[in-house]
Amino acid sequence: MTMNITIKNSLLAFTMVLLACRLQYGDAKPLHEIASSTGHGEKVGAAVTVELASGSVTSKNAILPVMLRFTTDQPNTPLHVEYRSNAGLSIVTLGSATLVSNQDGVVTDTPNVRATADGVYELNVFVTLGDRTKAVSVPVTVGNARAVRKLSGKAMRTPQGENLTVMPAQEKVR
């Protein structure tokens, strides 16, 4: 009899927890995909493309010049560029620069980087044009490391209207 009451109390408690969660968070609804165009009021990144012009593979402890080409549809326009690296990659030159695009809207810059161990690193480039900023990651390979193909995420929107990027899980095998 005592065991029967304990089981009933446990089931009652479990049911109450489920009801409380449902009341607090509402019914689960599927996430809606975000359209590729931006909605009204959303900030768009700077209208500039960043391309690797030369240099992306080096050996450890060697300085690698990474030539980047910045292209915009606005000629003779100042671009503020900031460089950041992930762990293991050092930026040898200045971490930022102000560049001015030529009459074709193109300008190049060559930051120098160095890594102390083999691997694939990311040189993160932040370009500000006017009041808009664009972020791009440029892969830098050191030694015989192989670049891992990145799986792209999927842009979704929660039922509450929040933007969310769903990224696939990736396992590293050593």
Token pair of 50 as six digits: 């960043």
Q: What is the pLDDT of residue 142?
A: 86
Count the domains in the chain.
Answer: 2
Return the CATH number at 56. Answer: 2.60.40.10
Q: Domain residues for 109? A: 48-153
Residue 170 lies inside a defined structural domain of this protein: no
Model pLDDT, residue 37: 41
Please report, rounded to a whole number, the percentage of residues in the chain having pLDDT higher than 70.
Answer: 64
In a domain, 55, yes or no: yes
Are 56 and 105 part of one and the same domain? Answer: yes
pTM of the model: 0.59
Diameter over CA atoms, the chain: 89
Task: Work out the average pLDDT over 126-152.
Answer: 81
pLDDT in tens, 26-63: 444 443 333 444 444 444 567 888 888 876 677 888 88
Please report the DSSP string for 85-143 in residue order.
E-TTEEE-S-SEEEEE--TTSEEEE--EEEESSSEEEEEEEEEEETTEEEEEEEEEEET
For residue 71, what is the enclosing H or E element? strand 67-72
Task: Identify the band that residue 162 occupies on the pLDDT scale cut at 50, 70 and 90.
Answer: confident
Return the H-helix or E-strand segment holding 169.
none
Pair (64, 117) in one structural domain: yes
Q: What percent of the chain has pLDDT over 90?
A: 29
Residue 41 in domain: no
Does 137 share its domain with 58? yes
b (16+ CB within 10 A) / e for 120-148: bbbbbbbbbbeeeebebebebbbeebeee
The predicted model gives 90-112 an average pLDDT of 93
Same domain for 68 and 143: yes
Residue 166 domain-assigned (yes or no)? no
Are 81 and 143 within one domain?
yes
Q: Is 50 exceeded by the pLDDT of residue 138? A: yes
Residue 162 lies in a domain: no
